[in-house]
Amino acid sequence: MFINGQWVDAASGKTFEARRMTPSERGRIVWKIGDLILQHVDELAQLESLDNGKPFLVAQAADVPLAADGTSSRAGAAKWAMRS
């Protein structure tokens, strides 16, 4: 982890390999997540309704599509994050 301007080992000493990918690849994956959310609107709206008691139609018409939109809009940020 990069903490307070320094690379720090895990307290347990355990590590794992992180996949290396380009910012463009990362952006495509985030964009795909947004697409998948839209492909499963009804299922996700049902879960949202069960989770917090929100009416299904509100979750279906607003919450889930807005989550997809927010995710897709971040795809560009994922592309640019590693360039700085």
Instruction: Give the relative orientation of helices 64-73 and 41-52 as an angle to the nearest 10 degrees.
Output: 110
Per residue in 58-77, pLDDT tens? 999 999 999 999 998 888 77
Per-residue pLDDT tens digits for 26-42? 889 999 999 999 999 99
Q: Please check whether residue 59 lies inside any domain of the structure.
A: yes
Predicted confidence band of residue 15 (pLDDT cuts 50, 70, 90): confident
In this structure, is residue 5 part of a structural domain?
no
For the whole prediction, is pTM greater than 0.75?
A: no
Domain span at residue 55 reads: 34-84
Is the residue at 73 inside a domain? yes
Is 14 within the bounds of a domain?
Answer: no
Q: Is 4 domain-assigned?
A: no
Q: Is residue 6 part of a domain?
A: no
Number of domains the chain contains: 1
Q: What is the C-alpha to C-alpha distance for residues 39 and 15, in angstroms, rounded to an integer?
A: 35
* 3-class secondary structure, 3: strand
